[in-house]
């Protein structure tokens, strides 16, 4: 079969049988396990950026390091939480200047200080490609997390910010929507995730997790300047929040939204069995593995 990132993940995790203490596993923005106290849950996330996939050597090292940590923070924000500590692992080729690594770590540290995250350690190894892997942990009160699977038919679909055109700048300079995610978790968002692979990839994931379909109003999708509608849907690396709210809660959400961050209603969740309605806009998003054959039954 033709490979996709989602099919590769399903192939790999289908072999995992140990689920001891797991509350939320593969398929959401963070994994969740129960904490030591009865009211506490522990969130965990790991993410990597790789040279010539997520960044290039001619990009500012400070911004590359910042991006490595910001991606993980965005995943916590998408569940209505934020990380408290992170471990950094790097794979280093022989020809990398020490100044590049030093400046990349400066970028991580600056962002960690802003979001009150402890950089707790990590690992270094020699490798063929330069990569940064960030593993983070955070905590939340039980029942306060927002999952991808919580939407209901009839819920309205919202996004923060503007979409598309993330290269060459936005993918390095975006601000994780931590405050917005925490606020939405307290104000009845029913489902939520961050837009890392594009609306065209991530909205179908949210719909599948909630066992629903969706209808989009293409003319309402917020775009960055000079960005086409198709690019706004499919470019990826937006790191905005995609979330759903019931129709009865939506007026209060709009009226009390306390941020300067743009807020846009773009569609509605449909019952399962309905085909997605996207107008004439192709909905595919970005996929690292779409050209890789992933065959066999595992």
| CA atoms within 13 A of residue 105's CA, in its CB half-sphere | 13
* 105: Cβ contacts below 8 Å, ≥ 6 apart: 65, 88
For residue 28, give the H/E element and its range: none
Shortest CA distance to 31 belongs to which of 21, 43, 40, 19?
Answer: 43
* 98: Cβ contacts below 8 Å, ≥ 6 apart: none
Q: Please report the pLDDT score of residue 19 as a whole number.
A: 65
Q: Please report the pLDDT score of residue 6 as a whole number.
A: 62
Angle 142-143-147 from CA coordinates, rounded to 5°: 115
Helix ranges (H only) for the chain are: 5-13, 61-77, 98-114, 170-173, 178-186, 199-209, 229-234, 250-256
Are the CB atoms for 144 and 192 separated by under 8 Å? no
Q: Please report the pLDDT score of residue 142 as a whole number.
A: 84
Ranges of each domain in the chain: 15-141, 148-270
Query: The whole model's pTM is what?
Result: 0.90
User: Rounded to whole angstroms, how far apart are CA atoms 74 and 243?
Assistant: 14
Q: Please report the pLDDT score of residue 115 as a whole number.
A: 97
Q: Please report the pLDDT score of residue 21 as a whole number.
A: 72
Do the domains 148-270 and 15-141 match in fold?
Answer: no
Superfamily of domain 15-141: PurM-like, N-terminal domain (3.30.1330.10)
Q: Please report the pLDDT score of residue 153 as a whole number.
A: 98
Q: Considering Cα of 293, then 296, then 297, then 298, what sign does the dihedral take?
A: negative
Which pair of structure tokens corresponds to residue 143?
Answer: 């029942």
User: Rounded to whole angstroms, how far apart are CA atoms 201 and 6?
Assistant: 10
User: Rounded to whole angstroms, how far apart are CA atoms 70 and 112?
Assistant: 9
Q: Which fold has domain 148-270?
A: Phosphoribosyl-aminoimidazole Synthetase; Chain A, domain 2 (3.90.650)
Structure confidence by residue, pLDDT tens digits, 128-162? 899 999 999 999 888 889 999 999 999 999 999 99
3-state secondary structure of 186: helix
- Ranges in the chain, pLDDT < 70: 1-13, 15-20, 286-298
User: Rounded to whole angstroms, how far apart are CA atoms 9 and 236?
Assistant: 19
């Amino acid at each position: 079969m033709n490979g996709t990132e989602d099919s590769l993940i399903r192939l790999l995790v289908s072999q995992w049988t140990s689920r001891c203490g797991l509350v939320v596993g593969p398929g959401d923005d963070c994994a969740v396990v129960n904490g030591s106290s009865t009211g506490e849950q522990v969130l965990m996330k790991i993410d990597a950026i790789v040279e010539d996939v997520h960044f290039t050597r001619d990009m500012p090292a400070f911004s590359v390091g910042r991006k490595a940590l910001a991606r993980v923070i965005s995943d916590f924000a998408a569940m209505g939480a934020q990380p408290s500590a992170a471990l950094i692992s790097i794979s280093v080729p022989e020809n990398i200047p020490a100044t590049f690594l030093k400046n990349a770590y400066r970028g991580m540290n600056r962002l960690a200080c802003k979001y009150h995250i402890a950089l707790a350690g990590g690992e270094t190894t020699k490798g063929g490609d330069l990569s940064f892997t960030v593993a983070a942990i955070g905590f939340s009160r039980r029942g306060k997390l927002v999952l991808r699977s919580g939407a209901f038919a009839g819920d309205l679909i919202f996004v923060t910010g503007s979409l598309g055109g993330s290269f060459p700048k936005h993918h390095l300079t975006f601000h994780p929507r931590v405050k917005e995610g925490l606020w939405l978790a307290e104000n009845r968002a029913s489902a939520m995730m961050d837009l890392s692979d594009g609306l065209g990839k991530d909205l179908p994931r949210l719909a599948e997790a909630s066992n629903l379909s969706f209808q989009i109003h293409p003319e309402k999708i917020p775009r960055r300047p000079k960005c086409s509608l198709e690019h706004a849907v499919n470019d990826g690396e937006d790191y905005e929040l995609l979330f759903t709210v019931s129709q009865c809660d939506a007026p209060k959400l709009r009226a009390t939204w306390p941020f300067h961050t743009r807020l846009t209603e773009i569609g509605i969740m449909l019952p399962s069995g309905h085909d997605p309605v996207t107008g004439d806009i192709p909905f595919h998003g970005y996929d690292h593995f779409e050209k890789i054959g992933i065959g066999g039954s595992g």
